[in-house]
């Protein structure tokens, strides 16, 4: 009997689809179910769910887990199966879920990198204290000692002063350019993400300064590619702009999916990110599969 002829009962996995400025997520509630077999292969499951043709499709897959230190633990996976340490837009989405669930105005979310405090503002937006940026080369991390404010090893057409390396719970490199729309992100982004200078790979941001309180940004996300927005990337871009003296300490960061408000009051303060969330739909993803077997490529609709 061929492997594809074996009948395996379908597994139906409830999920919630949300997005923050078009940066979209499949959210799975694994609280109290961490030991269930369906959640035992998160990397494989994330690759299947993240596929926009054979799965649900998203920029990141979010697993909600039980936390002893916060209201919830948020585990973040990319569609390529790699695990991420931070995602600002997903944090706002999860915060809105928890705040609604608990009928509260504030909550805490534990991630692999740090614990984040979140609040609902008077105008219904979600503010997240994203933590203090890490700026030392070994904390990014970089492969060798480097001036993280001006890495002149890598240049772009019309680039202004080299890349700025920042860690916001995950590694970023920010490039300031004169014309954001002229940058070939699909070519430059993946090259920079996987460059040897970044042992853990990196998110790559491209920024055009509009004025002292407004910047535009586009992003190549590690493990996801071009996305409409990136919360931790917006934080990194704001920190880089402030360190370069290009902006004030409070600004609007405009991305293709919309705007975020960023503030970094002093060099020792945490970065605060404020923005909206959106609910798309609830559903059940169903597929007959066997982890690691040839059947895992045979997708069926139910």
Spatial neighbors of 207 by CB under 8 A, at least 6 apart, are: 174, 175, 176, 177, 180, 215, 216, 217, 237, 240, 241
Q: Is there a contact between 3 and 289 (Cβ–Cβ < 8 Å)? A: no
Beta-bridge partner residues of 225: 221
* Per-position b or e across 272-301, b if 16+ CB within 10 A of its CB: bbbbbbeeeeeeebebbbeeeeebbeeeee
Dist CA 287 CA 275 (whole Å): 35
First to last CA, the chain: 24
Spatial neighbors of 21 by CB under 8 A, at least 6 apart, are: 89, 228, 229, 255, 257, 258, 259, 260, 275, 276
Dist CA 178 CA 206 (whole Å): 10
Q: Is there a contact between 88 and 118 (Cβ–Cβ < 8 Å)? A: no
Dist CA 62 CA 59 (whole Å): 10
Q: Which is it for strands 106-110 and 72-77: parallel, antiparallel or unpaired?
A: parallel
223: burial class by Cβ within 10 Å (0-12, 13-18, 19+)?
buried
Task: List active site positions.
Answer: 87, 230
């Amino acid at each position: 009997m061929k492997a594809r002829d074996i009948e395996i009962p379908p597994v139906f996995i409830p999920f919630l689809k949300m997005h923050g400025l078009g940066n979209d997520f499949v959210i799975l509630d694994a609280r109290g179910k961490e030991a269930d077999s369906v959640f035992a292969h998160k990397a494989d499951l994330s690759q299947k769910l993240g596929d926009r043709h054979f799965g649900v499709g998203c920029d990141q897959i979010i697993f909600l887990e039980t936390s002893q230190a916060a209201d919830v633990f948020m585990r973040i996976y990319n569609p390529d199966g790699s695990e991420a340490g931070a995602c600002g837009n997903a944090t706002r989405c999860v915060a809105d879920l928890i705040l609604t669930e608990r009928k509260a105005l504030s909550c805490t979310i534990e991630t692999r990198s740090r614990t984040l405090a979140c609040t609902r503002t008077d105008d219904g937006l979600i503010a997240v204290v994203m933590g203090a940026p890490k700026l030392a080369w070994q904390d990014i991390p970089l492969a060798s000692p480097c001036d993280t404010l001006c890495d002149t090893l890598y240049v772009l057409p019309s680039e202004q002063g080299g890349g700025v390396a920042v860690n916001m719970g995950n590694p970023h490199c920010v490039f300031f350019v004169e014309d954001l729309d002229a940058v070939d992100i699909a070519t430059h982004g993946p090259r920079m993400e996987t460059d040897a200078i970044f042992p853990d790979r990196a998110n790559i941001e491209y920024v055009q300064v509009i004025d002292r309180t407004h910047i535009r940004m586009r992003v190549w996300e590690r493990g996801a590619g071009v996305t409409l927005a990136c919360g931790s990337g917006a934080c990194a871009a704001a920190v880089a702009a402030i360190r370069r003296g290009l902006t004030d300490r409070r600004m609007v960061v405009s991305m293709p999916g919309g705007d975020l408000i960023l503030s970094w009051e002093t060099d020792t303060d945490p970065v605060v990110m404020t923005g909206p969330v959106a609910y798309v739909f609830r559903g059940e993803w169903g597929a007959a599969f066997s982890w690691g077997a040839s059947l895992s490529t045979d997708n069926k609709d139910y």
